[in-house]
Amino acid sequence: MTQSAVLTPSLAQPDQPQTVASAPWIRRIPLRSPTLPPATHTNAYVIGESELVVIDPGSPWPDAQHALVSALRTLESNGQKLSAVVLSHHHFDHVSGAMDLAAAFSVPVWAHEHTARRLGTRPDLRIDEQLREGDVLPFGPRGFSVLHTPGHAPGHICLLDQAGGGLLAGDMVASQGTIIVSPQDEGDMALYLDSLRRLLQLGRQRIWPAHGIAVEEGDKLVGRYLEHRLLRERKVVQALATGADTIDALLPLAYDDTPVALYPLAQESLLAHLLALLTSGQVDAMPSDSSPAAVTYRLRTAR
Ligand SMILES: [Zn+2]
């Protein structure tokens, strides 16, 4: 069965709720958001039956926020009630509509403690309750368990439907656009790879990403992400083996398949890989002779 075959055809329009017949308690509502191109929308998910939570209302724009509010009002008119807003992590394109929505429905905002910490500096965002690994949110037929999956962001969580509807994967993977691991924003490639491995162990199931449509064989998507990152890590190691030892020298070698226009993003990714290799003991870092502010990287085995 293809992905599109399981989506309710009449609901498969942008900004319209989408669901699957086997798990009607999970509703995907793509909202236009200031996310990273080529993605243009962040999915807000409304999960539950009589009691509902909204995950990642990420649009700061009134028209998109209105679309979500009106979808919730429709559910409310059917006797369903919003109980909380949940944030998968702290990024702008996931949290920007949270306070407006929480205020409109007088509900609390829940997130992991590291997300609360990251958002603590913003007076316009308040986390009322902290979520932890292993918590079960009592929504849907059997609840959703909280998986702490750091790497893309320190407080990143996924929600696993205990009734088999799938995994709400946040920004662990995407079916549209790409996932950035930025050390400047507390991204950690070693943790991200571990979190991908953990999702892979969950086996075959539907994945609901924050960007793009649902993916039925989620293990294949996660496997592709893991493979892609490990391939890149190998290219970074190969680039180091040539004797290149600075970010500037390594970048065109390790990212020779990447357009120059994307180098600023690639540079972040390269640094993330180098820090992961440093953590695993494969690489040493030391101040550059030519510039004390710069760092050089060398393979340990090359000494
Ligand atoms: Zn993100």
**What is the Å distance from ligand 1's center to 282 Cα?**
28
121-143 average pLDDT score: 93
In the reported structure, the alpha carbon of residue 153 is separated from the centroid of ligand 1 by a whole-number distance in angstroms of 7
Q: Categorize the per-residue pLDDT at 266 as very low, low, confident or very high, splitting at 50, 70 and 90.
A: very high
Note the pLDDT of residue 12: 39
Cα 77 to middle of ligand 1, angstroms? 33
The greatest distance separating any two alpha carbons of the chain, rounded to the nearest whole angstrom, comes to 69
User: What separation in Å is there between the alpha carbon of 303 and the centre of ligand 1?
Assistant: 38
**Domains of the chain from N-terminus onward:** 3-216 (3.60.15.10), 244-302 (1.10.10.10)
More confident residue, 208 or 4: 208
Residue 91 CA, ligand 1 centroid: distance in Å: 5
Q: What is the pLDDT of residues 187-243, one digit of tens each?
A: 999 999 999 999 999 999 999 999 999 999 999 999 999 999 999 999 999 999 999
Q: Place 90 in a pLDDT band, splitting at 50, 70 and 90.
A: very high
14 alpha carbon – ligand 1 mean position (Å): 20
Residues 181, 163: Cα–Cα separation, whole Å:
31
Q: Tell how strand 283-287 and strand 295-299 pair up.
A: antiparallel
Going by pLDDT thresholds of 50, 70 and 90, the confidence category of residue 246 is very high
**Are 34 and 177 in contact, with CB atoms under 8 Å apart?**
no
Q: Rounded to an integer, what distance in angstroms lies between the CA atom of residue 28 and that of residue 44?
A: 6
Are 266 and 239 within 8 A, CB to CB? Answer: no
Q: Does residue 8 carry a pLDDT above 90?
A: no
